[in-house]
Structure 1
Amino acid sequence: MAPRDSRENLEGVVTEVEDQHHVDEKSIEYDPALANAADTQQLASIGYKQELQRHYSSVQVFAIAFSIMGLLPSISATLWFSVPAGPVGMVWGWFSASALIFVVGLAIADLGSSLPTSGGLYWWTHYFAAERYKNPLSFLVGYSNTIGLIGGICSIDYGFASFIVSLGTISSDGEWIPSRGQLYAIFVATVLSHGILASSAGRVMHHLQTWFVVANFVLIIATIIALPVSMRLRNIPINSASYVFSYSINETTWPSGWAFMLSWLSPIWTIGAFDSCVHMSEEAKNPTKAVPIGILASIGGCWIFGFLVTAVLAACAGNNFEEILGTPFGQPIAQIYYNALGKSGALGFMSAISILQFFMGLSIVVAASRQTWAFSRDGALPFSSFLRQISKTFGYQPLRTVWATCLTAIIIGLLSLINNAAANALFSLAAAGNNVAWAIPILCRILWGREKFRPGPFYTGRFSVAISIAALMYLTFSTILCMFPTEGPNPDPSVMNYSAVVNGTVWGGALLYYFLYAHKWFKGPKHTLDIMENEDDI
């Protein structure tokens, strides 16, 4: 048989993926320095050569998602969205939205167990979609997921910068207020430091994730204990259970029902990184099990422990929510700590939160760089041939996409210089981009791919389609919610939600780019196997 180009399109190679879980282990050569034979064969079954080193266990795959979510730092950074609805928004807003996000996680876990690859979302879209739609939809999903993850870098690192300046404000008793330029400078320094660490610590990154999770749980437990104990010792009244679980307010200009819906933005942003497990597929051992375990354990952990944390915060927040929202410290959580623990206690806990937020940023840079690398491997990004190169010197890492994602985040972060509304868009930018990237492959699977789908070790069985439909309904609503300004119904530019502009530009630009130019050469994911050696086996 005549040899084919080793970068030709994947079409015809996978052969409907019907035998993907039963590939002959003798058919593909493998490098034991990168992965074992079974994992190499599994990846080869969908057309890809093993290029990254598999050193993430199931626990470490969970750990990277959970450390990106950074439960307490993320809740702290997004209290702006839930506090205006009062205790009910903080507690039940978290619980209800988390339950729906878990449904989405089930749908993605089905796909991740069946077809684990770093470019999973756009790869699944191309595989399951109807012939006429697969290329443009795959292209759109890849760009939406990429910008969503880069938006995650922006929001996490901007949140870290906000925590850092709040420490200065607390120390000065509210006398020092940072400028937007100072905030942005800290943000840039943070992103650059994450680029350096992600480049140089690749060989130990999987071990670090476990420690990040331990640190998160230690801080969660410390907060749950310290806040009420300190308030008792200082004779500060704690809100009753009926107040925590049934009292609502409305500090927005929207109707009360919509104010509650806006409280969902906190868990939507916090638990929006579970697809990082998918992007780590090609560095995970036994990914057909590790990926779904990581997805569901990280969402479930945030759901349960987040409910506990928000209940404690609502109990210890007092009843003056205007004071919390108008805090001179720049963060509502800082005011809650300050009121309950005093200045020293607030500084201690805010310092700990800041440290964890910093490592959240490091983890999201790692995950975002893998999606960007996978998309460039398939030739979809500008300068793909440059970006897709792997650095063996730095432990088989996609070094160039690490820095490409960091530099893009710095550019998008310029939005924060406009006003508070533009800065808040950094949070909803990530959520909206990822929502679309999750929804489209789920939709393609239930519309066109039911016969093609072959379950992996994790499968929701007869409930799978119903779960997918429920996930799509939630994701549609959630995407619309992410586009709404926090004040209305007639917002002015100072409270406008700029994520609609940024995401709309990305989605519209991606489709325009595809139909004008990219359709000439982008035909979907491309395989990277050595066809000269292996085409008869594939």
Structure 2
Amino acid sequence: MDHFKTDNALADDGHPLRNKVEPTSDLSDADRALVAEFGYKPVFKREFGYVATFSFAVSIGGVFSSVATTFIYPLQAGGSASAVWCWLISGIGCMCIALSVSELVSAYPTCGGLYYTISKVAPKHHVPILSWITGWLNILGQLAGVAASEWGAAGLLLAAISISSDFTYLPTVEHTVATMAGMVVVSGLANSLSTYWIAKLTSSYIIFHALILVSCMVALLAMATVEKGNPKHTAEYVFTDFENQSGWPGGWSFVFGFLSVSWTMSDYDATAHIAEEIQNPELKAPWAISTGMLFTFVAGWLYNVVLCFVMGDITGADSILASPIEQPVAQIFFNVLGKHASIFFTISAWAILKFGCISAMQSTARTIYALSRDALLPYSRIWTTILPATGIPMYAVWLTVVLSIAINLIGLGSYPAIAGVFNVCAIALDLSYCIPILCKVYYGRFTRGPWHLGKYSTIINLYACLWTFFVMVIFVMPTNLPVTPETMNYAVVYLVAILLFSTVYWVTHGRRYYSGPPVDGDISR
């Protein structure tokens, strides 16, 4: 790298792995800003344009496949009414979070994401501890998200195989874990490519996703006919029918339908973590986050409405909730479209979710790199190593692979335990967003970027945080009564465990060696 000059590297005492950099004339404007305003050395090539960045943001939600893997939550919580209205209500709250994140990313576009923003929006003496907590919550949420997505993708692939066998083959947990492990390795191999090839691959994703989503909704509505034995429900049923199968009182049961939305519309800052690979990230990153989440919100609601029209009975021995493949949406495909079309759309859902896994792993690896260059993670020197041949943090990618597989091995011992990992994903990520958002509002130190919310900023920020705290309560509650070891929600156990680990690591290491993200250019502090 002869684009910049550097001073001293990391000292042996463990201080942050960032170098003081003097920009030179051959750097792009974004890289010069990265040096002058944020104090980081440019190491990534900026290959992501508008299309690739928007496609990346949409892939994180992966609405067609994410609805397929989470549709069971609103069905058990309240049936059709829960699926339709919870998506609409929760989607508004999720959009407020996405807009708040977009505003911060526009002002501070680094691959540290919202973790980095703490150094700009909080007083200097609070930066180390606040950024430490935010960083650990964010990496926990991202790792859990990759693991959850890979598990869901494995389930969809095995469901397609089960349909092709006329349900003579039924997947086991062992099969799911083995399939998941193989697919995580595939994601690792894809993320070992250079940014150029990843951007090219990402650009084509949005076209495939949109075509599959629209064609599936049209096919379901056209094929669900009385003549074929699959009559559509009435609009009254779709929007008003409430069937509580959770065991909780009706009003409380209904809100568990928010889980599907919050799990799909999550990881808002994933696009921020590739900011140092985006051209003009102060504009393209927030634009992609906000419009990508809007696409997911609108398309997801319409898709839920269509599924509710054609899903048939959700109670009884032959209902979609009693499906032998434990995939209600794949069962709807089979019931309405027949064997061959259901295999096609289930495989398509797998492919869409699989690409989302690749994008999520890219984001997670960049987060590991960003946290390590500030010496937040153990063995930081290793995770900041950039492979010259591809220009990517290779060790960070394969650390993500290993940890994702290790997390999902929990499923061999207990499915409820692994389900808790999936729930903690949204809790940890949303908390990591609320900390910098609240700092922005409370301390008033925010200098907005070119993409901002104007006079509506504060009210949107506050609603985003209030909504997050409300949904957090739902995420830690068991979704079915009575509570047994099989229905227990272990999300809070994982959240406490990671907070305990990060606290111990802070006491033994962090408070001596960690000073938070750099504050170069911030003369006010």
Aligned to 2:375: 379
Aligned to 1:207: 200
CA distance in 2, matches of 1:47, 1:87: 51
User: Which deviates the most, 199-208 or 258-267?
Assistant: 199-208
Aligned to 1:255: 249
Q: Give the residue type in structure 1 aligned to 2:222.
A: V
Aligned to 1:427: 422
Query: Residue 112 of structure 1 contacts residue 292 of structure 1 at CA under 8 Å; is this kept in 2?
Result: yes
- Selected match of 1:52 from 33, 44, 52: 44
CA distance in 2, matches of 1:248, 1:513: 48
- Selected match of 2:228 from 216, 222, 234: 234
Please state if 1:356 is matched with 2:356.
Answer: no
**Structure 1 321/335 Cα, relative in aligned 2: closer, same or farther at 3 Å?**
farther
SS at match of 2:498: helix
- List aligned pairs for 1:310-389, cutoff 5 A: 310-322=304-316, 323-389=319-385
Deviation at 1:463, TM superposition (A): 1.7
- Selected match of 2:190 from 188, 192, 197: 197
- Selected match of 2:499 from 504, 507, 510: 507
- List aligned pairs for 1:461-476, cutoff 5 A: 461-476=454-469
SS at match of 2:169: coil
Aligned to 1:159: 152
- Selected match of 1:516 from 504, 508, 515: 508
SS at match of 2:79: helix
Question: Aligned Cα RMSD in Å?
Answer: 2.3
**Structure 1 321/210 Cα, relative in aligned 2: closer, same or farther at 3 Å?**
farther
- Selected match of 1:440 from 435, 441, 444: 435
Deviation at 1:43, TM superposition (A): 4.5
Q: Give the residue type in structure 2 aligned to 1:51.
A: V
User: Which deviates the most, 60-69 or 165-174?
Assistant: 165-174
CA distance in 2, matches of 1:204, 1:348: 27
Query: Residue 135 of structure 1 contacts residue 523 of structure 1 at CA under 8 Å; is this kept in 2?
Result: yes
CA distance in 2, matches of 1:363, 1:206: 10
CA distance in 2, matches of 1:169, 1:76: 16
What percentage of residue pairs aligned between the two structures are identical?
Answer: 27
Deviation at 1:526, TM superposition (A): 4.1
CA distance in 2, matches of 1:382, 1:27: 28
Which digits, 9 at most, give the CA deviation of each residue in 1:385-435, with x for residues without a partner?
1110111201x1111111111111111111211233123223212111101
Please state if 1:415 is matched with 2:397.
Answer: no
CA distance in 2, matches of 1:305, 1:420: 30
Q: Give the residue type in structure 2 aligned to 1:253.
A: G
CA distance in 2, matches of 1:334, 1:252: 22
Query: Residue 30 of structure 2 contacts residue 281 of structure 2 at CA under 8 Å; is this kept in 1?
Result: no
Query: Residue 161 of structure 1 contacts residue 186 of structure 1 at CA under 8 Å; is this kept in 2?
Result: yes
Q: Give the residue type in structure 2 aligned to 1:477.
A: F
Which digits, 9 at most, give the CA deviation of each residue in 1:93-119, with x for residues without a partner?
111111111011111111111111111
**Structure 1 230/431 Cα, relative in aligned 2: closer, same or farther at 3 Å?**
same
CA distance in 2, matches of 1:324, 1:372: 40
CA distance in 2, matches of 1:46, 1:202: 22
- List aligned pairs for 1:19-418, cutoff 5 A: 28-29=23-24, 31=26, 36-84=28-76, 85-200=78-193, 202-232=195-225, 234-322=228-316, 323-394=319-390, 396-418=391-413
TM norm structure 2: 0.92
TM norm structure 1: 0.90
Deviation at 1:300, TM superposition (A): 0.3
Aligned to 2:3: none
CA distance in 2, matches of 1:417, 1:321: 29
Q: Give the residue type in structure 2 aligned to 1:49.
A: K
Deviation at 1:499, TM superposition (A): 1.6
Query: Residue 34 of structure 2 contacts residue 40 of structure 2 at CA under 8 Å; is this kept in 1?
Result: no
CA distance in 1, matches of 2:57, 2:409: 27
Query: Residue 34 of structure 2 contacts residue 110 of structure 2 at CA under 8 Å; is this kept in 1?
Result: no
Query: Residue 120 of structure 2 contacts residue 522 of structure 2 at CA under 8 Å; is this kept in 1?
Result: no
Deviation at 1:31, TM superposition (A): 4.9
CA distance in 1, matches of 2:26, 2:358: 28
CA distance in 1, matches of 2:115, 2:108: 12
Deviation at 1:440, TM superposition (A): 0.6
Q: Give the residue type in structure 1 aligned to 2:278.
A: A
SS at match of 1:493: coil
Which digits, 9 at most, give the CA deviation of each residue in 1:30-53, with x for residues without a partner?
555xxx235423453111121111
CA distance in 2, matches of 1:6, 1:505: 33
Query: Residue 73 of structure 1 contacts residue 354 of structure 1 at CA under 8 Å; is this kept in 2?
Result: yes
CA distance in 1, matches of 2:498, 2:94: 24
CA distance in 2, matches of 1:309, 1:506: 35
Query: Residue 67 of structure 1 contacts residue 359 of structure 1 at CA under 8 Å; is this kept in 2?
Result: yes
